[in-house]
Copies of this chain bind each other. A is one copy, B any other.
Amino acid sequence: MFGLGAAGAAAVGAGALAANSLLDDPPVAHASSTSGPYPFYGEHQAGIVTPAQDRLHFVAFDVTTDDRAELVDLLQEWTAAAARLTQGKESGAFGAVGGAPEAAPDDTGEALGLPASGLTLTIGFGASLFDDRFGLAGRRPAALADLPKFPGEQLIPEISGGDLCVQACAHDPQVAVHAIRNLARIGFGKVSVRWSQLGFGRTSSTSRTQATPRNLMGFKDGTNNMKLEDADLLREQLWATAGDGSAWMAGGSYLVTRKIRMTIETWDRTSLAEQEQIFGRDKGAGAPLGKKAEFDPLDFGAKGPDGKPMIAADAHVRLAHPSFHGNAHLLRRGYNFVDGSDGLGRLDAGLFFIAYQRDPRRQFVPVQMSLARNDSLNEYIKHVSTGLFACPPGVRDAADYWGRTLFET
């Protein structure tokens, strides 16, 4: 198909330059090991508004002990380990080296010598934790209501839900994996890994200092995401308050995860025009259709020369837009994934969607119900995993621990 002579190759090169010149953006710096550690202690957990790191290891655990004291003990141990790991230290005082040779090391060692790499660890409690095992039934927040069944979803129970989750984000996957592995190790006999997911190439920015990255459909994703600089919006839409009904969640947030498999081979055979109609943005700059630049405001009333809306009635950006959902925003910080191939000659790839919010009943649920019913993107995606977790407030200091407000107040 391609001419392989020197002249052909030169022509190919010229075409590429023309295409690339349409892109005015600075390169997205996807990988960086330069940032120092993020503070572990604070009013809120890190890893929510923290500028989205580029690598993810997400894990959901089943609690295998029925003993509330053991669970609290584990949360305390995890907190101590997380406070160390996020600062670039080993997971325990008795590290991979320097300890007694006849004992197993506290730390598994594969991150020895690696910097903190911007690691954050964020814990969440699933609805199943509030059953009758730990005396928490009366403490379940109203906002942690089970998600409804969405049209078209094909959820796999084995990779959905979980009593606990931990989101590890870092610039280096080895650091994120090391953290999850050591938490799993500390939890041996009390928890078991229910499912875990690796991700790369953050698909949203959570700070205006970050360029907007692209999902595996090749489109910029999360242009209008809530960002850490939006102080008023975060207060209104991200952080739970004591007045919301569950005082223990004040300063916390609710996390929804969805593993969204893309049928990328089918997508890749659709025309550029159709792809752009489906999203409602152009693929190069990410501008709303009919506009020029990524951050130009969306005008849902604009019509093209043919009298039809520039942004179609079933376009993704229209259906998901806050203006159609009582101004409901989400703080998204999802990741691309490729889990090998699917046995049918295709890559098993897609988006691991992660969104934080103050109340999923008023935010994720109506937005997703609208998308699930009408989004023209549905032809190319399939939701295969779901998770809903109450992420407690931050750990204030070394005397505090993950979930203390749930167990002790």
Q: What is the interface of chain A, defined by CB distance below 8 A to chain B?
A: 1-2, 4-6, 8-9, 11-13, 15-16, 18-20, 22-23, 25-33, 54-55, 57, 59, 62, 64, 73, 76-77, 79-81, 83-84, 89-90, 92-105, 107-115, 117, 158-159, 171-175, 177, 180-181, 184-185, 188, 192-198, 200-201, 211, 214-219, 264-265, 268-273, 275-276, 282-284, 336, 338-341, 343, 345-347, 349, 397-401
A341 with B196, Cβ < 8 A, contacts A102-B273, A104-B268, A347-B184 known: yes
Cα–Cα distance between A13 and B84 once the two chains are bound (Å): 8
Which residues of B have CB within 8 Å of A111? 214
Are A284 and B98 closer than 8 Å at their CB atoms?
A: yes
Q: Which 5 A-B pairs have the closest CB atoms?
A: A109-B218, A192-B345, A97-B284, A15-B93, A19-B95
Within 8 Å by CB of A6, from B80, B104, B398, lies B398
16 contacts between A and B (CB under 8 A): A2-B93, A6-B398, A12-B92, A16-B84, A28-B113, A29-B33, A30-B114, A100-B272, A102-B272, A104-B268, A104-B272, A110-B215, A112-B214, A177-B338, A194-B341, A198-B340
Question: What 20 new A-B contacts, CB under 8 Å, besides A177-B349, A196-B338?
Answer: A1-B77, A6-B397, A12-B80, A23-B112, A27-B115, A31-B54, A31-B117, A32-B33, A96-B218, A96-B284, A97-B284, A98-B284, A101-B273, A102-B271, A104-B270, A109-B283, A159-B340, A173-B173, A177-B201, A181-B347
Q: How far is the CB of A236 from chain B (nearest CB, A)?
A: 32
A195 with B93, Cβ < 8 A, contacts A109-B283, A172-B30, A174-B30 known: no
Are B20 and A89 closer than 8 Å at their CB atoms?
A: yes
Which residues of B have CB within 8 Å of A22? 97-98
Are A398 and B9 closer than 8 Å at their CB atoms?
A: yes
Q: How far is the CB of A262 from chain B (nearest CB, A)?
A: 11
Within 8 Å by CB of A57, from B20, B109, B338, B398, lies B338
A341 with B113, Cβ < 8 A, contacts A16-B93, A398-B6 known: no
Are B100 and A158 closer than 8 Å at their CB atoms?
A: no
Which residues of B have CB within 8 Å of A345? 62, 64, 192-194
A113 with B211, Cβ < 8 A, contacts A4-B80, A30-B172 known: yes
Cα–Cα distance between A50 and B114 once the two chains are bound (Å): 22
Are B110 and A216 closer than 8 Å at their CB atoms?
A: yes
Q: How far is the CB of A213 from chain B (nearest CB, A)?
A: 8
Nearest B residue to A21 via CB reads B98
Q: How far is the CB of A240 from chain B (nearest CB, A)?
A: 24
Q: How far is the CB of A56 from chain B (nearest CB, A)?
A: 11
Nearest B residue to A215 via CB reads B110
Cα–Cα distance between A331 and B81 once the two chains are bound (Å): 37
Cα–Cα distance between A264 and B197 once the two chains are bound (Å): 17
Cα–Cα distance between A57 and B83 once the two chains are bound (Å): 33
Are A336 and B95 closer than 8 Å at their CB atoms?
A: no
Nearest B residue to A15 via CB reads B93
Which residues of B have CB within 8 Å of A32? 31, 33
Are A20 and B110 closer than 8 Å at their CB atoms?
A: no
Are A105 and B272 closer than 8 Å at their CB atoms?
A: yes
